[in-house]
């Protein structure tokens, strides 16, 4: 299925959530329809208008927001008071602010992590889940990102590691974290561009190019906040998301997973689907990690369409 044609938000604003953070939010689609909230990835990636288009605007009340430090939220690229517990509380505060009783959680990659964490904290506020590129923040998943992807993208991993002085290459996460948190842009921006370039190079079945850096205003937020969360185990207890799955197992869930997702390999999606039981896991045979690859994009639109029949207005 194709994405819906572009459409505009009809409301937007900033929500103060404490600790000096203001979250950008917007609402589009049917003001009286069932609510669906898009939970972006990264952490630190932010949202974009294109993400509205996964949803039928005549049916859904579509909520997009930028998590702490991400996108248009303020302050930019901040890791102060930025943990999973903070983000879960922010989601619940946003739900109250918008007057939403219950909503569908739609998230990919880190967005799947946060959607699950929120759902397990507030199961009574969820109607269901659509997820992509499952990331459960287990140590092996973080280790795969830091080193394992290099088995398939050795050139990208070599650029990622050799950016660092040779003496620091055995502990790349700690070395990048120091640079990304350095106050001087001369230090933190090259590290951010190289970190994001590594992830970008591994994110698609067919890589866009051979470049080693990713530039743009979102690079620092994505790299700094991702490294911050990885260094702290996602601010989750070991195996927390699978251990607490019983709180949401009764809710409908659809997973759309790229077979060749090198950032979040399919075994995590399989583990989650088997633990869930009634979860509908759809493997896209010709896709990597990106939500915008044709097969994954179509699968997500179809999932939102099928969810219309599985939730109550």
CA 218 – CA 46 distance, rounded (Å): 8
Mean confidence (pLDDT) of the chain: 96
Backbone angles phi, psi at 284, to 5 degrees: -95, 115
**pLDDT tens digits, residue range 72-126?**
999 999 999 999 999 999 999 999 999 999 999 999 999 999 999 999 999 999 9
- Residue from 73, 109, 218, 268 carrying the catalytic annotation: 109
The structure tokens 């698609």 sit at: 204
pLDDT at 207: 86
pLDDT at 208: 77
Q: At what angle do helices 172-180 and 185-201 cross, to 10 degrees?
A: 130
- Residue from 73, 261, 268, 290 carrying the catalytic annotation: 261
What sign results for the dihedral spanned by CA atoms 42, 43, 44, 47? positive
Backbone angles phi, psi at 290, to 5 degrees: -65, 140
CA 281 – CA 273 distance, rounded (Å): 6
The rounded percent of the chain whose pLDDT value lies above 70 is 96
Higher-confidence position of 300 and 213: 300
pLDDT at 127: 97
User: 78 - beta bridge partners?
Assistant: none
* CA angle (33, 34, 38) in 5-degree steps: 115
Spatial CB neighbours of 309, under 8 Å, sequence gap ≥ 6: none
- Is 58 a known active-site residue? no
Backbone angles phi, psi at 210, to 5 degrees: -105, 15
**Res 17 pLDDT > 70:** yes
CA 136 – CA 117 distance, rounded (Å): 10
Cis peptide before 75 (omega within 30 of 0): yes
- Residue from 21, 40, 228, 289 carrying the catalytic annotation: 289
- CA-based nearest residue to 150, from 198, 92, 94, 82: 198
Three-state secondary-structure class, residue 287:
coil
- Domains in the chain, CATH or no CATH each: 9-138+236-307 (3.40.50.1820), 140-234 (no CATH)
pLDDT at 20: 98
pLDDT at 209: 65
The structure tokens 């009783």 sit at: 101
- CA-based nearest residue to 269, from 299, 301, 310, 247: 299
Q: Kind of pairing, strands 126-132 and 103-108?
A: parallel
- Is 261 a known active-site residue? yes
**Res 313 pLDDT > 60:** no
């Amino acid at each position: 299925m194709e994405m819906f044609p572009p459409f505009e938000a009809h409301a937007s604003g900033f929500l103060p959530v404490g600790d000096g953070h203001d979250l950008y939010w917007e609402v589009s689609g049917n003001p009286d329809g069932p609510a669906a909230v898009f939970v972006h990835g990264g952490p630190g990636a932010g949202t974009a208008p294109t993400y509205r288009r996964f949803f039928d605007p005549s049916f859904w009340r579509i909520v997009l927001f930028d998590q702490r430090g991400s996108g248009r939220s303020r302050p930019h690229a901040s890791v102060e008071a930025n943990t999973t517990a903070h983000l879960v509380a922010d989601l619940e505060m946003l739900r109250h602010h918008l007057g939403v009783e219950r909503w569908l959680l739609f998230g990919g990659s880190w967005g799947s992590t946060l959607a699950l964490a929120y759902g397990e904290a507030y199961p009574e506020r969820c109607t269901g889940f659509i997820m992509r590129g499952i990331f459960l923040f287990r140590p092996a998943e973080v280790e795969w990102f830091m080193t394992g992807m290099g088995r398939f993208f050795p050139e990208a991993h070599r650029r990622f590691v050799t950016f660092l002085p040779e003496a620091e290459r055995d502990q790349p996460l700690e070395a990048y974290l120091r640079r990304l948190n350095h106050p001087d842009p001369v230090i933190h921006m090259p590290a951010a561009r190289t970190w994001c370039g590594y992830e970008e190079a591994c994110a698609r079945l067919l890589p866009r190019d051979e470049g080693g850096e990713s530039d743009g205003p979102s690079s620092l937020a994505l790299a700094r906040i991702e490294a911050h969360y990885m260094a702290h185990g996602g601010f989750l207890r070991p195996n927390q998301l699978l251990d607490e799955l019983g709180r949401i197992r009764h809710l409908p869930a659809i997973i759309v997973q790229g077979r060749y997702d090198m950032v979040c390999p399919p075994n995590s999606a399989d583990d989650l689907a088997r633990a869930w039981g009634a979860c509908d896991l759809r493997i896209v045979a010709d896709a990597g990690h990106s939500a915008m690859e044709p097969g994954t994009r179509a699968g997500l639109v179809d999932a939102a369409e099928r969810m219309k029949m599985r939730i109550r207005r």
